[in-house]
Amino acid sequence: MNSLFITFEGGDGSGKSTQVDLLKDHFDRLNLNIIKTREPGGTPSAEILRDILTKGEVNRWTPMSEALLMWAARHEHLVNVIEPALKSGKIVICDRFYDSTFAYQGVAHNLGIDKMIELKKIVIGEIEPDITFIMDIDPRIGLKRTIERSTLENRFENYDLKFHNDIRDAFIKIANENKHRCVIIDASLNEKEINKIIISKINELFL
C-alpha cells in the first residue's frame, strides 16, 4: 500500500478516537509504515492552540477567531507532519481535518461554508484526504458518552443541543456532497463491528 491519507470526522462522543486507534493497530499488525495524529494538534505549536481552543468557556472566542486558530493549527500540522509523512510513503490517520472546521465553524457557528472554503485555499491549498470516515450518531447519545470521559477538553461539548444537531446535519451534507471520499458510519454499532466495516472499505478501495 502506498501513502494514504485517512481522516475520521464526526460529532463529539461519536467514537472517532477509538476507531483511529483500532485502525492503527490493524495497520501495525500488517507492518505498514503509519502515523496517527489529530486536530487541532499534531505538532507542539498546534497542541498549544488545541489547549486554548478546547478548554474554557464556550464564549472564549468569537466564531471567526476560533476558525482562524483552527486554520493556523492545521497549517502547522500539514506542513510539519502530514505532508512530509505522505511524501515519504507513510499512511496518515488523522482524528479530524478540515471537514470539522466546515461543520463546527462554517455551519454550527454560522460563518458560512464559502468563507471556510476560501480559508482552506489560502491556508492549506487543495489537499484532500483519500478517504474520510464520518462517524454518525445521535448527539444526545454522543454527549452522554462525553460526560463519562475525564477530561478538561469539554468546551465544544458544552454548547447546546442545537449546535450539536447542526454539526451532525453538516457532516451528513458534507458526506453526500463528497461521495468520492466520504463514508458514513453508523457510530451506534459495536466498536469491533465498526472497525471491520472500516477495514473492509479500505481494502475494497485501496488494496
pLDDT tens per residue, range 122-177: 999 999 999 999 999 999 999 999 887 767 899 999 999 999 999 999 999 999 99
Domain that holds residue 86: 4-206
Spans of the chain below 50 pLDDT: none
Distance of CA 55 to the CA centre of its chain: 18
Model pLDDT, residue 207: 75
CA of 23: how far to CAs of 73, 111, 199, in Å?
A: 24, 33, 7
Name the domain count of the chain: 1
Residue 58 gets which letter from DSSP?
A: G
pTM value is 0.96
CATH of the domain at 188: 3.40.50.300
List the grid coordinates of 130.
483519500
Model pLDDT, residue 150: 63
